[in-house]
Amino acid sequence: MAEKMNKTIKKLALSFGKLVPDKLYLEIFYRKAFGKKLNLKHPVTYNEKLQWMKLYYRKDIMTELVDKYEVRKHIAEAIGEEYLFPLLGIWDDPDEIDYDSLPEQFVLKCTHDSGSVIVCQEKKSFDRESANAKLKKCLRHNWYWNCREWPYKNVKPRVIAEQYMVDESNVELKDYKFFCFNGEVKAFFVATDREKGDKEVKFDFYDMELNHLPFKHGHEWSGKPFKKPENFDEMVRLAAKLSEGWPQVRVDLYNINGRIYFGEMTFSHHSGFVPFDPDEWDEKIGEWFKLPDKCV
Tens digit of pLDDT per residue, the chain (296 long)? 566 666 666 666 656 667 899 999 999 999 999 999 999 999 999 999 999 999 999 999 999 999 999 999 999 999 999 999 999 999 999 999 999 999 999 999 999 998 899 999 999 999 999 999 999 999 999 999 999 999 999 999 999 999 999 876 666 677 899 999 999 999 999 988 765 555 688 999 999 999 999 999 999 999 989 989 999 999 999 999 999 999 999 999 999 988 999 999 999 999 999 999 999 999 999 999 999 999 98
SS3 15: helix
Same domain? For 158 and 295 the reply is no
Same domain? For 60 and 186 the reply is yes
How far does Cα 165 stand from its chain's mean position?
Answer: 18
Same domain? For 174 and 102 the reply is no
Length of the chain as a residue count: 296
Domain boundary among 164, 182, 198: 164
Same domain? For 268 and 175 the reply is yes
Domain boundary among 130, 164, 198: 164
Same domain? For 106 and 235 the reply is no
HEC profile for 110-158?
Answer: ECCCCCCCEEECCHHHCCHHHHHHHHHHHHCCCCHHHHCCHHHCCCCCC
Beta-strand ranges (E) seen in the chain are 87-91, 106-110, 118-120, 159-163, 175-181, 184-192, 202-207, 249-256, 259-266
Q: What's the whole-model pTM score?
A: 0.92
Nearest Cα neighbor of 135 from 167, 166, 99, 170 is 99
pLDDT at 13: 61
pLDDT at 257: 87
- As a whole number of angstroms, the distance between CA 144 and CA 128 comes to 28
pLDDT at 167: 75
Exposure class string for 51-81: b at 16+ Cβ within 10 A, else e = bbbbbbbeeeebbbbbbbbbbbebbeeebee
- As a whole number of angstroms, the distance between CA 178 and CA 7 comes to 25
- As a whole number of angstroms, the distance between CA 234 and CA 286 comes to 26
pLDDT at 25: 94
- As a whole number of angstroms, the distance between CA 261 and CA 81 comes to 10
Nearest Cα neighbor of 119 from 106, 136, 110 is 106
Same domain? For 201 and 77 the reply is yes
Same domain? For 252 and 278 the reply is yes
pLDDT at 75: 98
Same domain? For 180 and 80 the reply is yes
Residue 118 φ/ψ, nearest 5 degrees: -125, 125
238: containing domain: 1-84+167-296
- Cβ–Cβ contacts within 10 Å for residue 211, how many? 11
Look up residue 165 and give its amino acid.
M
Look up residue 18 and give its amino acid.
K
Beta bridge partners, 111, equal: none
Same domain? For 142 and 79 the reply is no
In the chain, the number of structural domains is 2
Over the Cα atoms of the chain, what is R_g?
Answer: 19
Same domain? For 90 and 216 the reply is no
Beta bridge partners, 197, equal: none
Domain boundary among 137, 164, 191: 164
- As a whole number of angstroms, the distance between CA 104 and CA 123 comes to 5
Same domain? For 204 and 158 the reply is no
Same domain? For 31 and 52 the reply is yes
How far does Cα 288 stand from its chain's mean position?
Answer: 20
